[in-house]
Structure formats: structure tokens, C-alpha cells
Structure 1
Amino acid sequence: MLAGVTAATLAVMTHIPSPAEELRLVDAELYRLDARRAQLLARRGWLLSQLQPVRPLPAAVPPRPEATGPGVQNVLLVLGGVLLTLAAAAFTVVSWGHLGITGRAVVLGAVTAVALAVPVPLLKRGLRSTAESVAGLGLALTVLDAYALYAAALTEADATGYAAGATAVLAAVWAAYGLLLPRVTGRPLLLPVPAAVGVAQLPMVLLAVAVGADASGIAAALLVTAAADTALALRAVSGPARIPAVAGAYGLGGWGALTAGGLVWTATGPAAAAPAAGLLLLSTGIALAGAWAPHTGTARGNATVAGLLAVAALGAVPRSVVSDGWVVPVHLAWGIALLAPLGVARIPEAVRRGLGRASGVVQALAVVAALPAVAVALLGPLGAPLRVWSGVPGDARAAVTADLPWPPASGTAALVLAAVAAVLVSAVREPLWRPRALDTATVLVWAAVLVLPPVLRLPYAAALAVLVLTTAALAAWRRLLPMVLALVTSVVAGLLSLAAEPATLTVFALLTAVFAVGARRPLPVAATAAYATALLCATGAALDRQPSHLAPLVLLVPVAAALWAARTAGATRLTAEVSGGIAALVAVGLAVPDAPMLALALALTGVIVAGTAVRPDRRPAGQVAAALFVLAAWVRLAAWEVSVPEAYALPVAFPALVVGVLRRRRDPRTSSWTAYGPGLAAGLLPSLVAAWGDAHWQRPLLLGAGALLVTLSGARHHLRAPLLLGGSVLALVALHELAPYLVQVAGALPRWAPPALAGLLLLALGATYEQRLRDVRRARETLGRMN
């Protein structure tokens, strides 16, 4: 290729061809280049194919079978056994009548014997699956034999009784067959023994039904069968017989226990309760045996069930004797007794833990049974504010049941709560659970004390005394939970005290003193302020004072809160200030109907807030105090029926200007808009609005003079805010005063005069445009230099 190019080049250099000849040379060269490019691409493809590794083709993978050989075999064997069983049943039921007695016996006996004998050689040859199928057919044929015997010779016998005997015989035959086969063949079958255990669940129950036993007898039959299942399950730790034995133990045992429990629930006396209690004890023994035996994964659950059944059994007879109010304490006592075995080391740990759990369940249920009485004691007084000072209730129960009914059988609620609290304190010793147990016990004891007055029907005064003393005891306990309980108790006491005037004053005074003792913490501070406010309101009401006249009296609480906040720090200080603020809002709310008293309340509140603003960390409170003072002045002016806007605006403007002057002295870099803008706007703008609607000359004259002074002051001191605000107000006042004359002049001029004047103005502006721009720029720079 290079030789061709060189030759062509030399030819061109030595000989200048014609255009036609040169075109021919160029086409020939391009053809050679295309051919060479095709050769190189082919060579490149071959080289790439040689460099890539040779990958063998994947071998053919046979399809994965969807069913295994043993699975197919089992399906075929089961299907064949079922078909043979159905055929035998059809023969027995349909074709039975065509044979005589001898023929019937020979056929059924021969077929059954063959079906039961065939598994022996099959097992010896190792065909276990086939042997299982044939054995299943033989077992089904024995059932048909039993039916055939009844249909042929025992039709007069009781069907249920015959079924009981037949199932017992079948269970024994199947069990013997399953146990003898291994001795003969050396290899067992899996089906006969579990089938025998499953059929053995029926004889006792069917026999009880056959003899006409009542619910107690049927429960006994169920539990006896369950006991036998439990014994078999515990002996057969592993093997096919364990599964139906365990299922029977749980199924029949649970059925029997529920039946016995229903008998206990409906028992009307000891004679009816005692047999049911005995059945429950039997079920308890069954569950405990299942828990006690080793190698049982459900030991703890069985022990828990055993404990619950024992409590129900031991409380059955007393329950039928005592009144309804003592049913819960009786069962609670037995539930607490379940804790006794916890310290016995010989008892398995799973059993001890299960019994402890059962005891906890019983105690929790007892507490739940006592909750309705606690709820009434807590929620019953909520309706007391609707009946303030309506009269002393007859007793504590009458005081809390004015709106809610007292729950029945709640006479022992306090005893139950106290007993559970004592158990928690004495029994829970683990470091992890001990604090939680103590907190729970505290709540339970508090609930017991709360519910005790209505339970005992204590006198009204005694009930209030109990609640106040409980509040004091809990408030003295410097922990959060007791303090919360103290607050709740104090609310109940305060609501109950609203029934009588002396009780209200006494209880609120005592509660104020109780929480004031611990006022170093936030919650007592808030409670003290709340009850002090309530006490002052109640005192004023007792003195027949109008609600609005109570405002100055209530403001004593914010005063005390402000003084106390100055001596504390942190959350306590903030709580005191917030509580004082809430009390001040109450005072202001009381004074709203009376405008003069409202002005006084606002002013006094402003004094309190101003005193708080003296502290360096509460300087922003000064703004709130100023707002309160202004608002007090406005309310007073409104009470005097003053409608002059300057009376409302100037008391705001002068203090604001004074504050601005002081701030500018302290920080000369402060903008005049920040320092003087609010005060000037408050003093000038309301008067400007009034001046535009005022037909007299006094207000515009005074406002214009004031605006002129403000403008001159701004120009003198180079302050932007006074200059612009004063100048704007002055210009608007002047415009307002000249408006009538402008209107007259506009009316006197011809209609062409305004357009002509506008045109002349535009011409003048255009002629002096550059000078005007320079003047505007100079004015802007002058204003920019002003502060």
C-alpha cells in the first residue's frame, strides 16, 4: 500500500496529469484502500476469536422430579388402603344381607385376619410402607367387625353403651397388635399404637353418657381420660403414641376443667361446690404432673395453669358460703399462698416460676376487680363545681356518688389493694424489679387510702381529713411519683370540699400550706399558687364580694410568686413566674365586667411585672409592664368615656420617646427609626387621622405645630425618622387646611386651565431636568448621611 502511495506521489510530482487522469488515479487508490481495510477487519475478527477461551456447551440436565419415589409409594399405598376400606364398608353395609350367619362370620373374619396377618411377612421382607397400609386396612376392618356384630346380634343393646365397650375393646386389640408385631417381626409399625391411643379417648366419655351421668360425671370421665393420657405421655417421652396422648391430655383435660369451672360458678351451696372443687383439684394434679415431669417444654405454662386451677378449686367452697364482697379476697388469699413454694429448692424451677406467674395473674385480677371503686372515688367529685356550697353530704360515699353509682361488691376493695401492695413489697427482691415493685405498691396503697372513706362510709369531715393528710404525706416524700399522687389527691379533696363553705375555706387553706412547705420544687410551687388563688376567690365569695372586686385580692398570688421567683432559680423560678402569670390572668378575668376595676387590675399587674423586670435576666418583662400600663390607662379613659384620641396616644408616645432617648444615649449607633419611630408614630398618626375628620381649627393647629417642631428637631440633629415623619405629617396637615381653598380655586378656573398648568409644569421640568436630577441626588445623599 505504501509503495502504491509513493508511486502515485512521484507520478504527481514528476508529471502533472489532466483532471480526468487525476480522477482515475484517485479512484484507483480509494479502491485499493477499501480492499485492504476489508482484509484487516477479517484478520482482526479471527484474532479475537482465537484469544477468547473455549466454553464447552452445557450438558443436558435432566428435569427435576416433582415427586420423590417414597412419596409416590406412600400416596399409592394410602390410596389403595382407602379404596379397600371403602369396598369393605360397602360390602358390609350393602351386601351383608345376601349371606347367612356362617358366611358373614367367615368372610369378615377371614378378611380381617388376612389383613392383620399380611404385615408380618411384609415387615420381615422390609416392605414397611406396604405393611403400614395393609395394617391400616386391618384396623378399619375391625371397626366394621364391631359394627357388623352390633347390627347382626346386638340390635337390642344400647347404642352408646355398646360403642363405649366396642371402643375399649378396639383400643386394647389395636394396642396389643401394635406391641406384639415387633416381637414377631423385629420391626414395629407406626399406626396401631397411636390409633389405639386415639380410640381410647372415647370409652369413658361414652360410658358416662350411656349411664346418664350429669355434667359432673361427664367432667369426671373427661378428666380421668386426660389423667391416663398424661401418664402415657410422660412415660412415652418419644414415639408415635406421645402425640395423640398429649393431644388427648390437653383437649379432654381442658374440656373437663372448663366444665368443672362452670359447675363451680353456678354452685349455690357447699354441697354443689365440693364435687366441682374436687374435679378442679383433679385437673390441677394433671397439669402439675405435666409441669413436674422432666423434659417437658411446656412445664412453666402447665405450672401456671395448675396454679390457677388450684386457686379456683380451693376457693370454690368458700365462695358458695361468703357474701359477694368477699369472693375476691378469698381467691386472692389462695393466690398469694401460691408464692409459698417459691423458696423450696426441691421443686423444679419451671414449676416455681409457673406458680409465681399464676399468683401474679390472680393478684392482677383482684386489682382489676377493685378498680371500679377507685374510679368512682376519683371521678365522682368531678360534678361538685355544679353544686358549690349546696350542703354537707351524709357521708363519704354520698359525696362521691352524687353523679355515679357505687359499684356492687366493692366493700373489700381497699383490703385487696393493700394486700397486693404488701405482697409486692415483701416478695419482689430482685434489684432490677424492686424499684418498679415499690412504685406499683405506692400507687396501690394510695388507691386503697383513696377508696377507704367511701367503702367505710366515713363522715364527710373525716373523709376530707383523710384526703388532706394523705396529700401531706405524699407531698413530704420528695419523689416525682408521690408528688403526682399528692396533686391528684388534693384535687379530689378540693372538689369534695366545695359542698360546704367552711370545708372549702379550710381545705384550700390546708392544701396551700401543705404545698408551700415544699415550694423548692416546680410542682409544689404550681400547686401552691393554684390553691392560694382558689382560697382567695373562696374567701371573697364567703365575704359576699362581687367577683370583679376580688381581682386586687387575687393579685396577692402574683406578688408572692414574683417575690419567691427572685429567691429561686431554674425550673422552680420559671414555674413560679408562670403560675403567677396565670393567677394574674384570673384576676384580670374577674375584673372584666367592671371597667374601673379592670384598669386597676391591669395597673397593679403592670407594677408586679415591672418589679420583675428589675432583675437583669428579666429585662424584656419591662415591655410587658409598659403594655399593661398603657392598657390600664386606656381602660380608665374608656371608663371615663373619653373619646379624644390624644388621651390614648400621648400616654404611649411620651414613654416610648423617653425609652428611645435612653437607648440612644446608651448606644449611639441605634437607628432613629428604632429609637424614636414608635413614639413619634404613636403620637402623631392618631391625631393626623382625627384631624382629617375634624371641622375645627384647634387640633390641626396644634398637630401642625408639633409636627413642625419634630421636623426642625430632626433637621437640627440630622435624624431621619423625626425629619420624615414630622415633615410628612406637617405636609398632610397643611394640605388638609388648604383643601377648601384649592377646591374653590379649582372651581373658579376654566376647564382648560388645569391641562395648561400641567403642560407648563412639564415644560419647566424638562428644561431643568438635569438640575432637578442633581438636586434629587443631593437630597438623597443628605438623607443618607442622617441617622
Structure 2
Amino acid sequence: MDNSLPPADELVLVDRELAQLDARRSQLLARRAWLIRVLHAPVASVALPPRPPVADSTPRSAQNVLLTLGGTLLTIAAIAFTLVSWGSMGIGGRAAVLSAVTAAALVAPVALLRRSLVSTAEAVAALGMVLMVLDAYALHRVALPATDGLGYAAVAAAVLAAAWTAYGSALSRLRVPLPVAVVAGQLPLPLGVLAAGGGSTAFAWAALVTAAADGAVVLWARPASVRITAVTGAVALGGWALLTGGLLSLTSPWDGAPLLLAGAAVTLYLAWRRPALAVAASAVAGLAAVTAVGGLLRAAVPADWAVPGYVLCGLATASVWWLRAGTAGTTSASAPASGAATRSGGSTADTAGARLPAGVRLGLGCAGAATTALGVVCALPPVAAGLLGPLARTTEVWSGEHAERALTSYPGTAVLVLAVAAAVLAALPRLWARCAALALAWALLTALPVSLGLPFAATLALQLLTSAAALWIAVRPGPATRGLRTTGAPGERSGTSGTEPGPGAPTPPVTAPSAAPSGPSAAGPSAAPAGGPGAPRPGWAPVRPRTQAPVIAPGTVLGWSAYAGGLASAVSAVALALDVRAATFLALGVVLGLCSAVAVLGVDARRVVSACGAVLAATGLVFAMAAAGGFEDHWTALALLLVPAATAALGTRAPRPVALAIEITGGAVGLLALGIAASRPAFLALALALGGVIAAATAVRPERRRFAAWTAAALFLAATWVRLAVWEVTTPEAYTLPVTVPALVVGFLRRRRDPEASSWTAYGPGLAATLLPSLFAAWTDPEWVRPLVLGVAALVVTLLGARFRLQALLVLGGTVLALDGLHELAPYVVQAVGALPRWLPPALAGLLLLAVGATYEQRLRDARRLRDRVARMR
């Protein structure tokens, strides 16, 4: 190595050599890793024994496939023989061939079963049953060609069903004959009715009788395949019969009612005897009975009373659910319970309830509830018209004209349906029923004006009363929770637990009590079971206490249900009141009072929502007063600022969530006021200043100080800028200095309080707000005053930054000073360059580059030292 080099050059050489050594080391390490992988590969890999091939199928499945294919081919051959080759043989030959083959196919399974060849016997038996069908077809073609095809098919299906039933019963190990016999049994009655020329009603009766027979098979047959086949047939034919009865109940109720009632009786008996099918079957039975009786009532009453008739039938069916639950045993088992209930004073309904299985009661209750719900849905159009009709405005505001009603010919019995359903649900001691009753009562009051055709004044009064009643229940739901049954389920508690605490008190969570452990584990985890110390019984384990999540109090659920209806009615009432000036003031005043009352007396989020609603109602009143007084838009905007001023004043006394909500809503109203005042800049400046005053007054409060202070500063600054624009002031410093001075003062106070704060945070925004816009203006200003003043100011800032070691002042001031000086020297530079020869600028540039290159290392070290010094500043 040459040691005669200068230190800088020698350092460059050493760095280059070290870089080459690092690169070579990386290459050698990569080569070493590859060699290790190559050397250790045979050792790391362990030869695994070959896995045996996985069989694609089991012997059993292969046997079934072969037997199925064989039986299918034999069946095809038999069909081809019967249809194609039959004519080439005489009557004796035909009979002998078919009889012999059929008998052989039916007898062969006996021998096969003795040898335990069950699958082969199944295949041969299936072939024999197919041959029996071909025998019946051949018999019709040869011996009875003049017989009606449908009638012969019905008789043949009955004979084959009986024969296959006997055959399957004799050979009980065969699984195919009995389900096939059930399938054949579906055909005789429907085909017989079609052969006799019966209509759709007769066919439905035949299908129902066949479905009843299937039900009997379901009840008394033992093989599962037979029951599944019978259930499928019963569902298909019974469903067809019930659908036919339902259609007949609309056109000919007296023809459809017997069919529906008979189907309901059959289905209900099946539900009674089969608990697994109890819920679904009894629900179908209930719907059929309701359709039958409702159809008869519909034929006997006027058209407007059809829906109430169905609803009454549905309620009567649903009432079965509320009968006293008892044992669902046999008649003999329930008779003593019935007698005991009668002797102890039990009612007849309780006795009936003891005899009804729970599944049957549930299915009937669901059917009745579904019918009632459908009737309530049919009664909802007047509710929608009464609630949403005022929102679809077709007349001018305060014109005194009222829009035509959307529904003019809807049955007036809709309100009766709502009233009956609400009364029934209110009598049930369940939380869901009480909530539904509240909703239906609100719907009834909303639909009354539409159904009864009430005038405008009565409609508005009823809507306001509905809103007041609903909001009162939302605040005091205690009476609505009386009588609720304590079931331990979430949301279902007694009436006393549903009472909500007063304003400001927290709502305690209601937890469901966990079940007390019984048996040997009741003594706790440390208690050992009987059988000797230290010898726990098999399967015994200590019971850990179960923790349940808190549930919602009934009063809260009912309160929110009523609250939603009250708000909806209030909005609809305000929309309706816009037809008349006095009505508008009345509705807005009432809504303001109601929302204010709920905000004061309510709990949880209802207080917050009601407080926001009160602010919006007050805004509407201000708008209405301005419109009534004929105010122009800019005066209306100034009047709207009363709303945020009032919310800022109320925020000092309201609880924190309510105060924040009303202040945010008031701020939104203030933005609306600024948008309205934007058409008049002078008034916009005044509105901004007033908004700044409101924000400054809010900043006095500690919890709002930071945000409100910044908001006030922004509003005051915006007001200043708008006023300057109105005065046609174009000097940028007039806009930037009002920002710079307060920002620098705030930064100075911040640095006094926190000496470690960065100068960019304290002084950077304030200085940039004036220096940068002034610099842009100076570059386009032909005069010399602004560049001179800006240069002096930038020089002062730079010197202060150097004196107090403040990075922001030094960088901003120095940058602005350099750019300002460059602007001043630019004309002279351009003039000098124009006077020089054209070859001189490139030559000077080349010399400069050579000088910089020669002293590159030194300049680089100087730049680094300058960077470090600046970085050490605050």
C-alpha cells in the first residue's frame, strides 16, 4: 500500500478495499452453504416404505354394482321380450314363459336368503316385481283389451300393492318389496277417481284418503324405509288435497271447508301420535282449519270483514298454546290427571291443555300466530299512508291547501284488526308480546285518521297526542311492564325489575341467576362423592358455576319501542303541519317541549337523541319566525345563530353526553347559517365574527377549551379575511399578519412553558404564514418597497435564529432572504449575461465544476458539519 498518498485519498482507497473484501466474503459464504446442502442431502433423506395402493371400492359396493347392473339388464331383456317378441308366440307359450320366469324370480330369493345371499336376493326380487308389472300389462293387452286403461291400472296397482305387501311380509329380510308396495298403494284411489270421471274435488278427496292411509302406515309400520316412503307420499298427496281445498275456499267455501277440515283432522291425529312430526303436522292442521272456517265466515259476511274473520280464527287457534302444559301421554295416563285437576278446581281449559302434547300446542300456536300476523300485515297500508303521507308533499308550504289522501277506499275494518291484535297481545305476560302490543297500538292511532277520514285539525291533534303518549311511555315504562312473567330468559323479567332509574342514575345490569347445582356436586368442587375418601365415582366431576351475560331490563326494551314510534309520529306531525302557518308553530312548539322533557327525564341514549331533536325543533321555529316576519336570507342566517348560542349556554348545565350532542347539533345549525349568509359577504363576516364570539365563550369551559379556542380563532380569522375582501384589500400582508402575530405569541408562550418544544412547532406556522405569501408577492411586484421590507424582515428573523439557535427561524429566514436577494439581482444578472460573449457562460460553468470536483471531499465535510449544526438547533 502506498503510504505517500494524502489522508483523504488514502481513506478512499481503504474503503474500496474493504468493500471488495466484503463482497468476496459473501460469495464464499453462499458457496459454503451450497456445499453443506449437497453433502448432507443423502443423510437427511430417509427412504419410506412404499404405501399400498388405496382401493377404489370395497367388495360390498362392487357386489352391489354388479347385482344392480345384472338386474337392470334382465329387466330390459324382459321388457323387450314382452313388447317386441310377444307376438311371435301363441297364448299358451306366452303364459307359460311369463309365469315360469316370474315364479322363478319370486321363488329364487327364498333359496338365496337361506344361503345368506341377501344382496343377490334383493336383485332377483326386484326383477320379479318388475315381471309382475309386465304380467299385468300383458294380461291387459291379451285378455282384457277392451277394459278402460285407467280403471285397469287402478285395479292392477291395488292388486300389486297387496301382493308385494304379502311378499315383503313373508320375506322380511328383503328391503325392497314393502317400500315399493307403499308406492303402488298411492295409485288406486286417484286413478280410480280419474277413471270414473271425477273432478278436481273428487280427486282431492281421493288424494286425502290415500294420504290418511299413508299416515296409518307411518304410525304402525316398523321398517324405517317404509315410513319414509309413506311420509313422502302423504306429504305429496295431502299437500295437493289441502291446496285444492284452499283454492276451493276462495271460490266455493262450502266445498272446500269439509276437505280442509278432514285434512286438518288427519294431520292433527298424526301429530298427536308422532312427537317427531308434531310441530310441523299440527301447524299444517291449524292453517287448514283456519282457512276452512275463515272461508265460511268470508262467505257469510261483507267483503270488508273478511280479514277480521280470518284474524279471529287465527287468534282462536293461537290460544291453544296458552292452555296449561301437562303430560303428553296416552289417554289412560292423562285421565287421572284430568280427574285430579277437576277435583282440585282446575278449569276445563287446563284439563284440555294437560292432554295436548307440547308439540301440538306449539304447532297450532304458530299456525294461529302466522294467520294473525298476515291479517295485521293486510291492515298496515293505512298506517303507512298516515305516517308517510305528509312527507310526500304536493302542495306549497303554508298554502292552506291539503294534499289528497293516498288511500281513499281501503276497508275501515283495518283499525279493528289492529285493535284486536293489540288487545290480545297486551294480555300476554311476555316481553315480546308487550312490545308488539305497543307497536300495534301506535299503528292503530296512526291509521285512524286515514281509515276514518278525519279532518286536518283532528289528524294533527291525534298525531301529536300519539307522539306525546309514546314518549311518555318511553320515559316512564313502568306501567307497561306490570304483569310480565319472570322466566329467566333474556329480556323477560317481572314488572318491578323493568322500572328504570331516574335521570342521572346509572342503569344497573340485570343478570339471570344461575341454576343451583344439585346432587353430589352441590357442596362445591371440594366435596367428594360417596364411596370412600379419595375415590371419586366414574364420570363425576365438580360443577363449575356458570356465568351468564347481563340481560336488558324489560323497561329498556319497552321504552325504546315506544320511543321509536313517538319520534316517527312527531316527524309526521311536523310535516303535516306545514300546510298551515299556525299549525306549524303549534307542532314545532309541542315537539320542542316533548323532546326537551325526554331529554330531562329520560335515560341512556334517549336523552341524547331527544336533546338533538329539541335543537332541530328550535331551529325549525327560528326558520318559521323568520319566514313569518318576511326576513331576507342574511337576516335569517343571523337569527339562526341564536341556536348555537343557546346550545352553548345549555351545555354548561347539561350532563356531558347531552351537552356534547346539543353543542354538535348547534354547530351544524351554525354552519347552515353561514351557508345561508354566504350570498352577502358583509353579513357573512358578521356571522363569522358572532360565531367566533360563541366559540370563545365556550372555550372558557375547561373540557371544551382546546377545540373551542381553535374554532374561535379560525372563525375570527375568516371574519377578518371576508371583511378585507369586502373592502377590496389585495395586499397579502393584510391577510397574513393577523395570523402571524397571534401564532408567534402563542409559540412564544409555548416555548416559555416547554423549553424543549421544537421551534418548528412554536414559530414555524406563524412565520410561514407571512413570509411565504409575501415572497410570492415580491417576485411579481415591480416596486422595490415590498422586496426591501421583506428582505429586512427575513434578515432579522435569520439573525434571531442564529442568536438563539432556533432552526425554524434560521432556515425560513435564510431561505426567504436568499430568494428575495436573488429576485433583486436577477435583472442585473440577465443584463450582464446578455452583454457577455456566448462562449463565456459555458466556460465559467466548466471552471466552476472543476473547482467543485477538486475540493469535493472538503465541501462534503463542510456540508455535513453545517447540517449537524443546524440539526442541533431547536
Report the TM-score when normalising by structure 1. 0.74
Equivalences for residues 73-472 of structure 1 within 5 A: 78=71, 82=75, 85-86=78-79, 89-90=82-83, 93-95=86-88, 98-99=90-91, 103=92, 107=96, 118=107, 147=137, 150-151=140-141, 154-172=144-162, 195-238=180-223, 242-265=227-250, 267=251, 272-294=252-274, 297-322=276-301, 325-342=304-321, 343=323, 344-384=353-393, 387-393=396-402, 398=404, 401=406, 406=407, 411-427=412-428, 429=430, 434=431, 436-472=432-468
Supply the RMSD in Å over aligned alpha carbons: 5.0
Contact between 2:695 and 2:711, CA under 8 Å: does it hold in 1?
yes
Question: Distance in 1 between the 2:203 and 2:83 partners?
Answer: 35
For 1:615, the equivalent position in structure 2 comes to 701
Bigger shift: 120-129 or 145-154?
A: 120-129
> How many angstroms does 1:334 deviate by?
1.6
Equivalences for residues 711-726 of structure 1 within 5 A: none
> How many angstroms does 1:648 deviate by?
2.2
Contact between 2:260 and 2:289, CA under 8 Å: does it hold in 1?
yes
| Counterpart secondary structure, 1:566 | coil
Q: Please tell me the residue identity of whatever aligns with 1:541.
A: A
Equivalences for residues 52-71 of structure 1 within 5 A: 66-67=59-60, 71=64
Bigger shift: 299-308 or 76-85?
A: 76-85
For 1:598, the equivalent position in structure 2 comes to 684
> How many angstroms does 1:167 deviate by?
3.9
Question: Distance in 2 between the 1:62 and 1:682 partners?
Answer: 83
| Counterpart secondary structure, 2:458 | helix
Q: Please tell me the residue identity of whatever aligns with 2:288.
A: L
Contact between 1:392 and 1:460, CA under 8 Å: does it hold in 2?
no
Contact between 2:75 and 2:130, CA under 8 Å: does it hold in 1?
no
Q: Please tell me the residue identity of whatever aligns with 2:75.
A: V
Question: Distance in 1 between the 2:263 and 2:834 partners?
Answer: 116
Q: Please tell me the residue identity of whatever aligns with 2:369.
A: G
Contact between 1:92 and 1:144, CA under 8 Å: does it hold in 2?
no
Equivalences for residues 491-640 of structure 1 within 5 A: 491-520=571-600, 521-620=607-706, 621-640=708-727
| Counterpart secondary structure, 1:320 | helix
Contact between 2:71 and 2:124, CA under 8 Å: does it hold in 1?
no
> How many angstroms does 1:238 deviate by?
4.0
Question: Distance in 1 between the 2:798 and 2:177 partners?
Answer: 118
Partner deviation per Cα, 1:167-207 (whole Å, 9 max, x = no partner): 4455456556766x58xxxx787666655544333232223
Question: Distance in 1 between the 2:576 and 2:69 partners?
Answer: 82
> How many angstroms does 1:615 deviate by?
1.5
Question: Distance in 1 between the 2:798 and 2:72 partners?
Answer: 115
Question: Distance in 2 between the 1:723 and 1:148 partners?
Answer: 116
Question: Distance in 2 between the 1:255 and 1:106 partners?
Answer: 40
| Counterpart secondary structure, 2:198 | coil
Q: Please tell me the residue identity of whatever aligns with 1:638.
A: A
Question: Distance in 1 between the 2:766 and 2:224 partners?
Answer: 99
Unaligned runs of 5+ in 2: 1-48, 324-352, 476-558, 601-606
Contact between 1:168 and 1:200, CA under 8 Å: does it hold in 2?
yes
Question: Distance in 2 between the 1:203 and 1:784 partners?
Answer: 103
Residue 737 (structure 2) aligned to one of 637, 650, 666 = 650
Partner deviation per Cα, 1:331-363 (whole Å, 9 max, x = no partner): 222222122322102111221122122233323
Contact between 1:88 and 1:141, CA under 8 Å: does it hold in 2?
no
Q: Please tell me the residue identity of whatever aligns with 2:262.
A: L
Question: Distance in 1 between the 2:828 and 2:121 partners?
Answer: 131
Q: Please tell me the residue identity of whatever aligns with 2:701.
A: R
Distance 1:696 1:204, change over 3 A: closer
Question: Distance in 1 between the 2:774 and 2:307 partners?
Answer: 81
> How many angstroms does 1:255 deviate by?
1.6
Partner deviation per Cα, 1:697-736 (whole Å, 9 max, x = no partner): 6656766776677778778878776677667767877777
> How many angstroms does 1:624 deviate by?
1.8
Task: Return the structure number with greater helix share.
Answer: 1
> How many angstroms does 1:601 deviate by?
0.7
> How many angstroms does 1:542 deviate by?
2.0
Contact between 2:395 and 2:402, CA under 8 Å: does it hold in 1?
no
| Counterpart secondary structure, 1:384 | coil
Q: Please tell me the residue identity of whatever aligns with 1:473.
A: A
Contact between 1:229 and 1:245, CA under 8 Å: does it hold in 2?
yes
Bigger shift: 457-466 or 142-151?
A: 142-151
Contact between 1:84 and 1:137, CA under 8 Å: does it hold in 2?
no
Question: Distance in 1 between the 2:696 and 2:55 partners?
Answer: 96
Question: Distance in 2 between the 1:647 and 1:661 partners?
Answer: 22
Question: Distance in 1 between the 2:179 and 2:583 partners?
Answer: 77
For 1:42, the equivalent position in structure 2 comes to none
> How many angstroms does 1:91 deviate by?
8.6
> How many angstroms does 1:308 deviate by?
1.4
Q: Please tell me the residue identity of whatever aligns with 1:254.
A: G
Question: Distance in 2 between the 1:312 and 1:195 partners?
Answer: 35
For 2:531, the equivalent position in structure 1 comes to none
> How many angstroms does 1:290 deviate by?
1.3
Question: Distance in 1 between the 2:105 and 2:798 partners?
Answer: 127
Contact between 2:311 and 2:372, CA under 8 Å: does it hold in 1?
yes
Unaligned runs of 5+ in 1: 1-55
How many residue pairs match? The answer is: 700
Question: Distance in 1 between the 2:682 and 2:52 partners?
Answer: 107
Contact between 1:118 and 1:131, CA under 8 Å: does it hold in 2?
no
Contact between 2:260 and 2:288, CA under 8 Å: does it hold in 1?
yes
Question: Distance in 2 between the 1:59 and 1:703 partners?
Answer: 92
Contact between 1:471 and 1:490, CA under 8 Å: does it hold in 2?
yes
Partner deviation per Cα, 1:92-133 (whole Å, 9 max, x = no partner): 95257x44xxx5897599759966995798599778968877
Question: Distance in 1 between the 2:831 and 2:222 partners?
Answer: 122
Q: Please tell me the residue identity of whatever aligns with 1:225.
A: T
